[in-house]
Structure 1
Amino acid sequence: MPPLYLAPDNLPRCRWCSATPDYLAYHDHEWGYPVADDVRLFEKLCLEGFQSGLSWLTILRKRENFRRAFDGFDFRIVATYTDADVARLLADAGIVRHRGKIAATINNAQRALELIDEAGSLAAFFWRYEPQMDPGPQVVSQSPESLALSKALKKRGWKFVGPTTMYALMQAMGLVNDHAAECVIRARVAAARQGFTSPATRAG
């Protein structure tokens, strides 16, 4: 299948975003732009976990519900959730009501606090795993770096952080530019990455 399609503005985009306007907006304005905000990184990691076995479109369309249910994915708050919060979330029809994924989100919030104590920020830790070699757009679903990040997080007790999930995080949060070579957004993302200082570098 060709990697591109012509969007309504007659400019080429990655084919995956052709399915729905929701995907197109996400592709054009979020996917691949570098992110150094800890809450956004934590949110994406959690939502990737909730996506397991589902489509990203399902999660994307429920994202605002997830944000409301999980206090904006402020991990400092989520880390304090109790059994009462788990019951509340399991009763919330606006999100994916999966006990294991809800428990993993709370666990990961607690692990996030520990990781910040260790590394200074989630961003500083995650960006240590920015790939130095570009395998080429949309040719792999995991990488040595995503495998290493997965292992590092699992060692620290994180859940739902497999290497494919971590590569999806890298794609979305700008650690790699995985837009198709002729996608009009690829150059915009490349420019954003060029002007971005890695938090890992800033952390020394």
Structure 2
Amino acid sequence: MPPTAPAAPQPPDEHAGRASPFRCFGTGDPLYERYHDTEWGRPVRGDAAVYERLVLEGFQSGLSWITVLRKREAFRAAFAGFDPAAVAGYGEQDVERLLADAGIVRNRAKVEAAVAGARATLRLAETGPGLSELVWSHAPAPGRPAPRVPADVPASTPESVALAAALKRAGFRFVGPTTAYAAMQALGVVDDHLAACPARGGGR
């Protein structure tokens, strides 16, 4: 699902003399607006980039997305720019270091899941098909209608159920069907911008 419930279309702003921009979510927070306008729903490929989104979605579990988004640069510093090879080498001392880092979400299970995910990413690269290809192989068939209202956006799909199972088999954690679907949205594997949203179809 979108990081927050999509906003309703805005009426013309009579005071500004022009129509207010419509976004599915994020309007009013520059960081959130930028994320909506330039990242969410746009195709992302490459093992490291996909690994980053999966880790961040795992840390978001039980929290608001804006909380994780605001800590994103701290996460990148803490996890070596989300370089799977670097994070895969993290040991217990690194885990303890991260649990003392107030810049990120300090949750042992999620930190350990990020390390396990890095190791899984390397194994997938060695044995095939690679993390990025694995995730994109679960894209839904073309032609899915655009959601028109927030209620049209699912929390999970048969494809995300299958992806979650595949990721768990590979060694990932914190990747249930809902988290897997949120990652699919963030990676542009699905485009769940509402039909009226100007960002729909961006980068495709």
Aligned equivalent of 1:150? 164
Q: Indicate whether 1:13 and 2:23 are aligned.
A: yes
Could you tell me which amino acid in structure 1 is paired with residue 197 of structure 2? C
Q: TM-score, normalised by structure 2?
A: 0.86
- Displacement, 1:135? 5.4
- Quick check: 2:47–2:121 contact (8 Å CA) kept in 1? no
- 1:52-76 deviations in whole A, cap 9, x for unaligned? 1110000000000000000001011
How far apart are 1:2 and its partner, in Å? 5.9
Which residues of structure 1 form unaligned runs of 5+? 194-204
Give the whole-Å Cα distance in 2 for the aligned partners of 1:19 and 1:141.
Answer: 24
Q: Given the alignment, which residue of 78, 82, 90 partners 2:91?
A: 82
Structure 2 distance, partners of 1:5, 1:111, is 44
| 1:4 corresponds to 2:18 | no
**Alignment partner, residue 177 of structure 2:** 163
Aligned residues: 189
Q: Hey, what does 1:198 align to over in structure 2?
A: none
**Equivalence for 2:3:** none
Query: Structure 1 or 2: larger helix share?
Result: 1
CA distance in 1, matches of 2:47, 2:169: 20
Q: TM (normalized to structure 1)?
A: 0.86
1:35-184 alignment to 2 at 5 Å? Answer: 35-132=44-141, 134=144, 136-137=146-147, 138=150, 139=152, 140-184=154-198
Listed as ranges, the gaps of 5+ residues in structure 2 are 1-5
Structure 1 residue 3: Cα displacement? 3.7
**What RMSD, in angstroms, separates the aligned Cα atoms of the two structures?**
2.0
